[in-house]
């Protein structure tokens, strides 16, 4: 999100079931969450250092993933203090991959690392400042967020949610905006906490994509895949989620009408993952997507992949499968 919007008043509490526009078909289960994002990078060793040092992740794939050789295995990274080793980011090396441009390309706008609480976010901001990392910031009413780029120019958000009982709505639409963050209050919330890496409970909270058309994005990600539309009045953007979450997916048309997808030799998002609780949920989603005319690529009997209208691959998998 990049531009402020006027949020009309009065606003009503966003109680469960009081907001969102359901898809035309069945909605995704309330227990839907996101799995890892797969990224293509130019220099694996350089990227691993960044994700470990700045974001506080750690490699949970074989040590060979660190060496940066052309045939190195992908590096899977989890939150440093997550005892489950659940991967959040998977880095694939393509030596010499072109960095992502600041504007004008469809696909990844940013992926978002959700921290478990506000104190952790304050500790991260203090840590990033100590490293000299430049951060953008936005108070989105439902969350407080900070923005940065990895060495290949790929966008990253690090954020913490506000409690759901603090969220507000206007009619059926959840209220979101981009206002200044009260950084002193955020740092005060962290107290004397020292950032020693991403804490347990850190997850991929959402993915935000540049798309070519918001109606087509709603038809694919909403009506076909099953996300509920949460925010549709934000200029040039549509936000969708499941289980009442403010958004698991953001889409926007800010890249412009001339924007094109990334190429094979570009640093880019290779795929992002929707994790569903049961095989039956995956089967139902696959059937809806196929019925809408999209090609479904099966990955065994508990996962599939499909490309959105702009070539971005989304994987849908049973929750335990996406961790493999």
The answer to the question of residue 172 being in a domain is yes
Residue by residue, DSSP assigns 187-226 as: HHHHTT----SPPTT-EEEEEEEE-S-HHHHIIIIIIIT-
Angular region, 67: left φ>0, alpha ψ -120 to 50, beta rest: alpha
The answer to the question of residue 179 being in a domain is yes
Report the alpha-carbon angle 132-112-168, nearest 5: 115
Residue 72 has pLDDT above 70, yes or no: no
The answer to the question of residue 2 being in a domain is no
The 10s digit of each residue's pLDDT in 79-124 is 999 999 999 999 999 999 999 998 899 999 999 999 999 999 999 9
Residue by residue, DSSP assigns 83-152 as: TT--EEEEEEE-TTPBPPPSSSEEEEEEEEEEPSSHHHHHHHHHHHHHHT---EEEE-SSEEEEEEE-TT
The answer to the question of residue 222 being in a domain is yes
Look-up: residue for tokens 């989304």? Answer: 314
What value does the mean pLDDT take over residues 183-208? 98
Range of the domain at 38: 12-323
Kindly state the percentage of the chain with pLDDT values over 70.
93
- Which residues sit opposite 38 in a β-bridge? 90, 271
pLDDT band for position 30 (cuts 50, 70, 90): very high
pTM of the entire predicted model: 0.94
User: The domain that contains 149 carries what CATH number?
Assistant: 3.10.180.10
Three-state DSSP state, 63: helix
The answer to whether 23 and 226 have CB atoms below 8 angstroms apart is yes
To 10 degrees, what angle do helices 183-190 and 118-131 make?
110
Domain count, the chain: 1
Residue 64 has pLDDT above 50, yes or no: no
- Which residues sit opposite 173 in a β-bridge? 170
Residue 8 has pLDDT above 80, yes or no: no
Helix (H) or strand (E) holding 186: helix 183-190
Residue 175 has pLDDT above 80, yes or no: yes
Residue by residue, DSSP assigns 250-261 as: EEE-TT-TT-EE
Angular region, 104: left φ>0, alpha ψ -120 to 50, beta rest: left
The answer to the question of residue 6 being in a domain is no
Cα 305 to Cα 317: distance, rounded to the nearest angstrom: 9
The answer to the question of residue 3 being in a domain is no
The 10s digit of each residue's pLDDT in 234-252 is 999 999 999 999 999 999 9
The answer to the question of residue 7 being in a domain is no
pLDDT band for position 61 (cuts 50, 70, 90): confident
């Amino acid at each position: 999100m990049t531009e402020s919007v006027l949020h009309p008043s009065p606003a009503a509490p966003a109680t469960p079931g009081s907001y969102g526009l359901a898809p035309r078909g069945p909605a995704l289960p309330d227990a839907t969450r996101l799995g890892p994002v797969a990224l293509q990078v130019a220099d694996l060793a350089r990227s691993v250092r960044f994700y470990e040092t700045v974001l506080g992740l750690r490699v949970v794939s074989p040590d060979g993933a660190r060496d940066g050789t052309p045939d190195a295995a992908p590096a899977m990274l989890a939150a440093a203090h997550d005892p489950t080793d659940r991967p959040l980011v998977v880095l694939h090396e393509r030596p010499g991959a072109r960095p992502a441009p600041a504007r004008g390309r469809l696909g990844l706008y940013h992926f978002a690392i959700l921290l478990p609480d506000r104190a952790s976010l304050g500790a991260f901001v203090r840590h990033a400042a100590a490293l000299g990392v430049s951060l953008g910031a936005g108070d989105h009413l439902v969350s407080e967020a900070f923005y940065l780029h990895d060495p290949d120019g790929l966008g990253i958000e690090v954020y913490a949610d506000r409690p759901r009982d603090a969220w507000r709505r206007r009619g059926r639409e959840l209220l979101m905006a981009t206002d200044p963050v009260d950084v002193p209050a955020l740092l005060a919330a962290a107290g004397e906490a020292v950032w020693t890496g991403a804490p347990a409970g850190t997850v991929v909270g959402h993915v935000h994509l540049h798309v070519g058309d918001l109606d087509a994005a709603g038809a694919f990600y909403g009506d076909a895949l099953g996300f509920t539309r949460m925010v549709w009045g934000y200029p040039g953007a549509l936000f969708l989620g499941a289980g009442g979450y403010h958004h698991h997916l953001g889409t926007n048309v800010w890249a412009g009408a001339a924007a094109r997808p990334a190429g094979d030799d570009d640093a880019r998002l290779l795929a992002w993952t929707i994790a569903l609780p049961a095989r039956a949920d995956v089967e139902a989603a696959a059937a809806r997507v196929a019925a809408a005319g999209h090609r479904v690529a099966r990955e065994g009997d508990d996962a599939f992949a499909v490309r959105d209208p702009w070539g971005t691959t989304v994987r849908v998998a049973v929750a335990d499968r996406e961790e493999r």
